[in-house]
Amino acid sequence: MTAQIIDGKRIAQGIRQYTKDKVNKLLRVPKLVVIQVGENPASTVYIRNKIRACNEVGITSYELRLPQTCSEANLLEAIRSLNEDPTVDGILVQLPLPSHIQSGPILEAIHPEKDVDGFHIYNTGKLVTTGGGFKPCTPAGIIELLNAIGYSLEGKHAVILGRSNIVGKPLAMLMLQENATVTMTHSHTPNLSYYTKQADVLVAAIGRAKFVKADMVKKGAIVIDVGTNRDENGKLCGDVDTDAVKEVASWITPVPGGVGPMTIAMLLHNTLLSAQKRQGIL
């Protein structure tokens, strides 16, 4: 059996089109401000893609570039003024920040109603309890991928590799809301294969090239690959050894073209939601 490919690019395009149609109906054009501190090359590429995607759906975007030497106080001041600017619907501080700036206080300085990344502890708390806040974009995108192939998590066993605040932990909460049984694994989990082989849905988000091998996957499992790595030849690859695992799985996300496009689509969608709320539509 060869797995079917979950075409994240096509599914993301559907969400972008939906967002564009809704943006067109708003009285005021939504605005997203993306803050980059320093010159991390990967961040520069991610931000360029986010800005381009905003333009495509009619969201105004503004990139605020601060120098590597920027102090925490300067960054907090910039966020404070964006919080107060009524024309700004979304504020995103691209991570990682330079090592002299703690991300916690920065993310908490963003007004929760403009926190389109869903990283503020208020939105994190809502995710864990009642729901209804902004959902972090990558986990929300993974849920959309499963919806798009008509897969219900009800009663299924989801196993997540990686416990980051951006992907693993919030994804566990979203999957619990869908009535999955969720197992979290990480770098200190002994006998990892014992868990991964039980997964109906296996999500790899550990940042290690081609880490998940075919013998770690149950026959017919759905495999979601969040990784963006370079292999030994410098070629883009995920956390999953896709060529081997696709002979065991029933569905699999490619890298590139799987989870990545969904993260950006959900960011646009969150920015739309913010603008709708702020314009009294939701």
CB of 220 to ligand GUN, least distance (A): 30
The answer to whether residue 50 is catalytic is yes
Give how far Cα 78 sits from Cα of 33, 62, 93, 111, 228, Å.
Answer: 11, 13, 11, 12, 30
What one-letter code names the amino acid at 37?
A: V
User: CA-CA distance, 93 to 35, in Å (whole number)?
Assistant: 5
Of 51, 76, 95, 176, the one binding ligand GUN (CB under 6 A) is 95
What one-letter code names the amino acid at 191?
A: N
Write down the catalytic residue from 117, 200, 225, 239.
117
CB of 4 to ligand GUN, least distance (A): 27
Among positions 105-164, residues that touch ligand GUN (CB under 6 A) are 117, 137-138
Of 166, 212, 224, 252, the one binding ligand GUN (CB under 6 A) is 166
User: CA-CA distance, 15 to 139, in Å (whole number)?
Assistant: 15
Residue 73: which residues within 8 A CB-CB, separation 6 or more? none
Total of chain residues touching ligand GUN, rule CB under 6 A:
9
Of 19, 61, 94, 124, the one binding ligand GUN (CB under 6 A) is 94
Among positions 253-272, residues that touch ligand GUN (CB under 6 A) are 263
The answer to whether residue 36 is catalytic is no
Rule CB under 6 A: is residue 92 a binding residue for ligand GUN?
yes
Q: Residue 274: how many CB atoms within 10 A of its CB?
A: 24
Burial grade of 273 (CB within 10 A; 0-12, 13-18, 19 or more): buried
Active site residues: 50, 94, 117
Binding site for ligand GUN (CB under 6 A): 92-95, 117, 137-138, 166, 263
